[in-house]
Structure 1
Amino acid sequence: MLPRLSLVLGGAASGKSVFAEGLVAAAGGARLYLATAEAHDAEMRAKLDRHRARRGPAWRTLEAPRDLAPALGAARADEVVLLDCATMWLSNHLLADSDMVEAEAALFDALDACAAPVVVVSNEVGLSVVPDNALARRFQNAQGALNQQLAARAGLVVNVIAGLPQVLKGHLP
């Protein structure tokens, strides 16, 4: 049984999404995938197509690049939600120059109100070098703060490195 909120962290191409998909599938029941990425170029479209094909038809998908509240509100109690990923959600908001205090408050309110357990995928960016430009430093700091808030609220936190999960908080079901 999954807790109400789980967080799966990892670096780029670490296997975090594959691990999170397996965690959701193993929980049983219907699967709801909340997609936050937007395809702005052919490479990203191809990546999203690969992810969609890997998941297969067993997943109901809702696209929610910035406003996650309606998507989380649409989750049924018999579903398990995979929000993939908080990093793209944050990037979308930063690029749109959103009020991040308001956006994060809405996200956490929606997570609290969600009828289904939620697994959030997010990138761990704190292990890299300090970026050389202001936007990248703002992103790195915002991502670190968001991950800390998610981890504090989550009953399960897993860090994935090279496809291998390390449980940081809680227990795998």
Structure 2
Amino acid sequence: MKILYFGGQKSGKSSLAEAKTLAIATDKPYYLATYDHTFGDEEMGARIDKHRISRGEEFITLEESRDLSRVIEPHHTYLVDCISMWILNRLDENEEVLVAEIEALGAIDANIVFVLNDVTSGVIPSDPISRRYVDLSGIIGQRLARLCDEVVEVKLGLERRLK
């Protein structure tokens, strides 16, 4: 089963995705953290610590910022939090490469719950890097929505199943 949770920043998508992952897991699930710690962002580090504390010992944590298909194995359950960071980490790569990686994840016989920030509802960014990030977020989001069995939009801690 593949499930996508998407929504704005601090919408509650991660906590809902965690609960769903635990509900569908038949053994202890994996929490696949995609943040690249090389950015040196202290505030982001504090956010990560808060996530670690909130999920407690219910997950086995794996950290992989780029090659997700390398660590996801068949017949297990994974929460990938988050695809938005994964896109940021690979912003310099071709769109086709990123899409191929998403398609490869879809082909793995594993339960995967994806988390994606919805950054595509605003104005077109004025700088090229931000435009590329927003464009890739929309493209990857569409691919995920197609391959996932369920797609859940989250706003204000409330979920609405779209698929």
TM-score with structure 1 length normalisation?
0.87
Amino acid at match of 1:139: Y
Counterparts of 1:107 and 1:151, CA distance in 2: 11
How far did residue 131 of structure 1 move? 1.0
Unaligned 5+ segments in structure 1 are none
Question: What is the number of equivalent residue pairs in this alignment?
Answer: 160
Amino acid at match of 1:160: V
Question: Does the alignment pair 1:110 with 2:108?
Answer: no
Aligned to 1:124: 118
Aligned to 1:8: 5
How far did residue 103 of structure 1 move? 3.0
Counterparts of 1:146 and 1:103, CA distance in 2: 8
SS state at 1:62 partner: strand
Q: CA contact under 8 A between 1:72 and 1:111: conserved in structure 2? A: no
Unaligned 5+ segments in structure 2 are none
Counterparts of 2:116 and 2:3, CA distance in 1: 11
Aligned to 1:26: 23
Identity percentage of aligned residues: 36
Aligned to 2:82: 85
Counterparts of 1:8 and 1:142, CA distance in 2: 17
Amino acid at match of 1:134: P
Q: CA contact under 8 A between 1:20 and 1:121: conserved in structure 2? A: yes
Amino acid at match of 2:144: L
Counterparts of 2:90 and 2:48, CA distance in 1: 20
1:17-96 map, 5 Å = 17-29=14-26, 30-39=28-37, 40-73=40-73, 77=75, 79-94=76-91
Which of 95, 101, 113 is residue 100 of structure 1 equivalent to? 95
Counterparts of 1:130 and 1:101, CA distance in 2: 22
Question: Does the alignment pair 1:140 with 2:143?
Answer: no
Q: CA contact under 8 A between 1:93 and 1:100: conserved in structure 2? A: no
CA RMSD across the alignment: 1.3
Q: CA contact under 8 A between 1:7 and 1:154: conserved in structure 2? A: yes
TM-score with structure 2 length normalisation?
0.92
Counterparts of 2:106 and 2:161, CA distance in 1: 21
